[in-house]
């Protein structure tokens, strides 16, 4: 290895960058890929990087890593913890970049053994920023070769050395909704002269919880979370308005539309019940579609992962309500895609927590300020899985055609 992967990972972890501001990360990825002999284009969809290794006729295999960090203040106490207050790689995208560069090096080294084109995509802004679509909109599939398949992986808090996968729907669709409720402000001592948006917001939040509990069938799946609620500035002032930010998750398009319609109905009805002088504003602020793993592509990819890690380390998982924009690549290109999870948790700590039923408490999840994957075998595993998956698709080409 010419790239010192552990050092690279620690550097990225210590220097996190927010969505669309991944300039140093992107420059580093571009530099390493160029040194390995890849044809590199920077600035695709903002800070995105595309690195190509054309190695004769054969399939084009898209390999994706996202690069952005989160507005989380790190509390891991690691020697290589974030040096940027309030910013942290709490979702493992630093590991994704390191894995992909490690895989690019191995694929370049063993180029005589395969044919086709490796198309590495370093994506900006996975965390709510729509970075995958930004790269597509910037001509990803017009300026660069059309892939035959899209492959991606995510670090999660499963035991290190293991992989989780699922054919079909794997991760939920997400929608963000911004709601502004209008009341009439005034003196805190004279509520009768006002329309209190705090009470209106409180009633709305509670009523929104009845959508999943009372309106969606028990065998269907949805989440309605009010993640943010803001109103007012002082104890003795009744504010003029209140704002709610909602996150909606679903798998079925009909359920999704039903939930979004119910939100609109309830918000308007609660405003009416409160005597609001103006109708509320309800704005959908984007989201991600369901992440769907093509069945045949998943079978082929998972077989390769099993050969690389041993089949007992490649475990079928339940779908998760988390969301990802990786699915946009396969969807936009009209080709199958496969996405899997790679564990980064100390296997002994994981087993101990599982025995005592404390997995949710003792094992920090993604986005936690305590999220701290063990370096090994996490690093090695993610490089091996990416190389194995890529080789499965490259090797299946017809180099003679
Ligand atoms: Zn995340
Ligand atoms: Zn993530």
The CATH number of the domain where 252 resides is what?
3.30.70.360
Distance (Å, rounded) from C-alpha 7 to C-alpha 347? 23
Cα 249 to ligand 1 centroid, rounded to whole Å: 15
Q: Per DSSP, which regions of 251-393 are E strands?
A: 281-288, 291-293, 314-316, 337-345
pLDDT of res. 286: 84
Ligand nearest to the CA of 154: 2
Cα 324 to ligand 2 centroid, rounded to whole Å: 7
Residue 149: which residues within 8 A CB-CB, separation 6 or more? 59, 61, 62, 297, 330, 335, 336, 337, 338, 393
If asked whether residues 273 and 301 sit together in one domain, one would say no
* Structural domains counted in the chain: 2
Ligand nearest to the CA of 96: 2
Ligand nearest to the CA of 128: 1
Average pLDDT over residues 139-149: 98
Q: Is residue 400 assigned to a domain?
A: no
Cα 399 to ligand 2 centroid, rounded to whole Å: 35
Pairing of strands 163-165, 281-288: unpaired
What's the pLDDT tens digit per position in 296-310? 999 999 999 999 999
pLDDT at 395 over 90: no
pLDDT at 52 over 70: yes
Distance (Å, rounded) from C-alpha 14 to C-alpha 228? 29
pLDDT at 401 over 60: no
- Active centre residues (catalytic): 68, 126
If asked whether residues 302 and 249 sit together in one domain, one would say no
pLDDT at 40 over 80: yes
Counting residues of the chain whose pLDDT is more than 90, the rounded percentage is 96
Cα 131 to ligand 2 centroid, rounded to whole Å: 12
Q: What is the mean pLDDT of the chain?
A: 96
Residues near ligand 2 ion, CB 5 Å cutoff:
91
Ligand nearest to the CA of 326: 2
Domain stop point among 254, 285, 316: 285
If asked whether residues 225 and 359 sit together in one domain, one would say no
Average pLDDT over residues 90-104: 98
Of the ranges 33-42, 320-329, 389-398, which one carries the lowest mean pLDDT score?
Answer: 389-398
The CATH number of the domain where 320 resides is what?
3.40.630.10
If asked whether residues 353 and 226 sit together in one domain, one would say no
Q: Is residue 401 assigned to a domain?
A: no
Residue 1: pLDDT band with limits 50, 70, 90: low
Residue 129: pLDDT band with limits 50, 70, 90: confident
Q: Domain range holding 257? A: 173-285
If asked whether residues 18 and 159 sit together in one domain, one would say yes
Cα 202 to ligand 2 centroid, rounded to whole Å: 31
Average pLDDT over residues 250-266: 97
142 token code pair:
């017009």
If asked whether residues 164 and 183 sit together in one domain, one would say no
pLDDT of res. 396: 56
pLDDT at 398 over 60: no
Cα 83 to ligand 1 centroid, rounded to whole Å: 20
pLDDT of res. 400: 42
DSSP 56: S
How many Cβ atoms sit within 10 Å of the Cβ of residue 119? 24
Mark out the alpha helices in 166-281 (DSSP H runs).
197-210, 253-274
* Longest Cα separation, the chain: 83
pLDDT of res. 128: 79
């Amino acid at each position: 290895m010419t790239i010192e992967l552990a050092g690279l990972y620690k550097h990225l972890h210590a220097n996190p960058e927010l969505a669309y501001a991944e300039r140093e990360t992107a420059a580093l990825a571009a530099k390493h890929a160029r040194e390995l002999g890849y044809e590199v284009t920077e600035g695709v969809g903002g800070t995105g990087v595309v690195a190509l290794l054309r190695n004769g006729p054969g399939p084009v295999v898209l390999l994706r890593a996202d690069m952005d960090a989160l507005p989380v203040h790190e509390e891991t106490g690691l020697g290589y913890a974030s040096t940027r207050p309030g910013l942290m790689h709490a979702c493992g995208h630093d590991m994704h970049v390191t894995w992909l560069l490690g895989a690019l090096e191995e694929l370049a080294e063993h180029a005589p053994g395969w044919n086709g084109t490796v198309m590495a995509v370093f994506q900006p802004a996975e965390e709510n920023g729509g970075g995958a679509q930004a790269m597509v909109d910037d001509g990803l599939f017009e300026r660069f070769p059309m892939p035959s398949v899209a492959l991606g992986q995510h670090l999660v808090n499963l035991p290190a050395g293991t992989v989780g996968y699922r054919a079909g729907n794997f991760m939920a669709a997400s929608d963000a909704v911004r709601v502004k409720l209008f009341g009439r402000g005034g003196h805190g001592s004279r509520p009768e002269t006002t329309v209190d948006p705090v009470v209106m917001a409180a009633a709305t939040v509670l009523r929104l919880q009845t959508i999943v509990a009372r309106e969606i069938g028990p065998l269907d799946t949805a989440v309605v979370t009010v993640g943010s609620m803001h109103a007012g500035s002082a104890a003795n002032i009744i504010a003029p308005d209140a704002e709610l930010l909602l996150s909606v998750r679903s798998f079925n398009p009909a359920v999704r539309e039903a939930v979004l319609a119910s939100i609109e109905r309830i918000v308007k009805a609660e405003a009416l019940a409160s005597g609001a002088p103006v109708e509320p504003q309800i704005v959908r602020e984007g989201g991600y579609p369901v992440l769907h793993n093509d069945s045949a592509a998943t079978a082929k990819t998972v077989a390769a992962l099993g050969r690389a890690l041993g089949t007992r380390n490649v475990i079928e998982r339940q779908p998760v309500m988390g969301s990802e924009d990786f699915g946009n690549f396969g969807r936009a290109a009209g080709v199958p895609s496969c996405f899997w999870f790679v564990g980064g948790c100390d296997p002994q700590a994981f087993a101990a927590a599982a025995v005592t039923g404390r997995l949710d408490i003792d094992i920090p999840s993604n986005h936690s300020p305590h999220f701290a994957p063990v370096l090994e075998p996490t690093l090695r595993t993610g490089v091996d899985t990416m190389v194995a998956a890529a080789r499965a698709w490259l090797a299946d080409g017809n180099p003679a055609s």
